[in-house]
Amino acid sequence: MAERPIGDRRRIPEATVARLPLYYRALLETGEMGITTVSSERLAELAGVNAAKVRKDLSYLGSYGTRGVGYDAEYLLHQIARELGLSQDWPVVIVGAGNLGQALANYRGFGARGFRVVAVLDADPEKLGVEVAGLAVEAFTDLARIIESRKVTIGIIATPGHAAQEVADALVAAGVGSILNFAPTLITVPPEVSMRKVDLATELQILSFYQLRRALLDQPRAAR
């Protein structure tokens, strides 16, 4: 049951990485309920996936289960946190103090697990100094200074689409390694920077696609 060093075991598939947070959350819940041991079956149910997948996913982290028993919830939680880097502190900067930026800054659950919003920036002088989630909005022109001095590693883009690429470039130039983009635009970053996007319009359009199909099944008139 020895801990394995991070990184030097076989590569963890992307799909697995994307599920680890689900297990993490599920384990937090079981912890609150005082459960000390979980089976892959139970964990699968809580995370909404297949039990075999849970086992395979967890096996990438190491052999942390006990056959015939299950996984020690607390220990497994610790291992996943370690793997995800949640035992560390990740300073986050939010660029864009509009509705979305403010909502994100106020979002609980950021600070909770290692992610700490250390600055909210905006290019609009009107917004400067406005208090958002206990922080005064700062100038976008101070980006580089802020990122360096506060050791920011993650940047969140919550600007209108037309500003997103410029912001991304500035974040990358300032040394940020990860970007979460909420702007409805394609942004490109160098390969050594991680980028993920959250796109409301896209999500709705996907839903609309399937909704349309169902509607057509109910009353199969000629489309349009």
Nearest to 165 by CA among 178, 152, 148, 184: 184
Q: How many residues form the binding site for DNA (CB under 7 A)? A: 26
Name 163's Cβ contacts closer than 8 Å, sequence gap at least 6. 96, 123, 183
Which pair of tokens denotes residue 64? 């942390």
Residue placing its CB nearer to DNA in the complex, 39 or 178: 39
> In degrees, to the nearest 5, what angle opens at C-alpha 185 toward C-alphas 179 and 190?
45
196 scored as a contact of DNA (CB under 7 A): no
> Which segments of the chain are extended strands (E)?
37-38, 65-66, 70-72, 90-95, 115-122, 131-132, 135-136, 138-139, 154-157, 178-181, 194-197
Instruction: Single out the segment in contact with DNA by CB under 7 A; choices: 35-43, 100-108, 117-125, 192-200.
Output: 35-43
Instruction: Single out the segment in contact with DNA by CB under 7 A; choices: 48-56, 90-98, 183-191, 215-223.
Output: 48-56
CB of 130 to a copy of itself, least distance (A): 15
CB of 164 to DNA, least distance (A): 23
CB of 10 to a copy of itself, least distance (A): 13
CB of 51 to DNA, least distance (A): 7
211 scored as a contact of DNA (CB under 7 A): no
**Cα(9)–Cα(82) distance, rounded to whole angstroms?**
14
Binding residues (CB under 7 A) for DNA: these are: 13-16, 38-41, 49-53, 55-56, 58-59, 63-71
